[in-house]
Structures are given as structure tokens and as C-alpha cells.
Amino acid sequence: MSNVVKITAQQQKLITSAIRIQILHTLIDKPMTAKQVAEKLGKSNGSIHYHMQLLYEGDLLKLVDTKNIRGTTEKYFLAIGTNFTSENETDHIPEIHISSNLQLSLAERREFLDDLKQLLLKWEKKTAKQADDDSASYFIRTKIEEE
């Protein structure tokens, strides 16, 4: 699991877009240009450049290299992370919101829901066996909606 990066409310707004989440995951391990990201994701150069510029201005991407090729400057970016928490989120807040935007096919949606159900079942079984004095009861609610 990648390190958790604390982000501001403004940065959190930037990652409410599925395409920006895809860009961050694409740029987590290998520096790439906007054109390379567009090719990898099968999107237009202009669209990817726009979203990468917003992520860069929001300090979610860092510029790691520039190369001058035939009079053009290629800029290579890396994501600062893919696992985020808001700067005011702590273990002591009674309510925690976790959200993401995913681009899923119908089959992937079914797989995701199955994985989520299995995760909840795992924790239901795990917590049914323990009775710690320092434990608390938590209500988990999941809402999945198409945009």
C-alpha cells in the first residue's frame, strides 16, 4: 500500500474526477509526459494536458524532468501519491468520508461490488470473534452511483 498523503480541501476537489484519478495512478511509478499519458489512457492530448495542469497547479503532480526535443520542451511528471486523506481527518473523528471516482465496465462494477462485500464480510467475521474494551461500534454505509 502506498504512503498516505495529507491533502487540503482544495486538493480533494481536484481528485473528484475519475480521469484525474486515472492520471495519478498512471504517474505513480514512472515519469511521463501528458502525451504519453494520453496515449496510455486512450484519451485526447488536450484533455489530459488540461487535467494534468490542474493536478500540477494543485501540487498533486511534481515536475521531475524536462527535455528539449526539436524545439519543444517535454515535461515529465510524477504523482505525489494515490492514497489520500484530508488534512483534518484523524482517528478521533466520529464520521469519516471516503470517496473515489472509478471508470468501470459493467463486469468491473460487479467485481468491485463482490470485493467490497467480501471485505465487509471478512471484518464482520473478524470483529465477531473479539471483544476488546477499547473497541467501538461503527456503521458502514456505501453508496455507489453512476455520474
Q: Which domains does the chain possess?
A: 4-85 (1.10.10.10)
Partners of 85 in beta bridges: 6
Per-residue pLDDT tens over the stretch 58-69: 999 999 999 999
Total Cβ atoms within 10 A of residue 32: 21
> Model confidence at 88, in pLDDT bands (50, 70, 90)?
low
Q: Which amino acid is at 35?
A: K
Phi, psi of 29 (to 5 degrees): -110, -25
The answer to whether the beta carbons of residues 71 and 55 sit under 8 Å apart is no
d(CA 128, CA 117): 16
Alpha-carbon distance of 37 to 16, in angstroms, equals 19
Residue 1: its pLDDT value, please?
A: 41
Predicted confidence at residue 100, as pLDDT, reads 77
CB distance 31 to 74 below 8 Å? no
Backbone angles phi, psi at 72, to 5 degrees: -115, 140
Q: What confidence tens digit (pLDDT) does each residue in 21-48 have?
A: 899 999 999 999 999 999 999 999 999 9
CB contact at 8 A, 85 and 6: yes
87 or 56, which is more confident: 56
Q: What is the pLDDT of residue 79?
A: 95
The Cα 36–Cα 30 span in angstroms is: 11
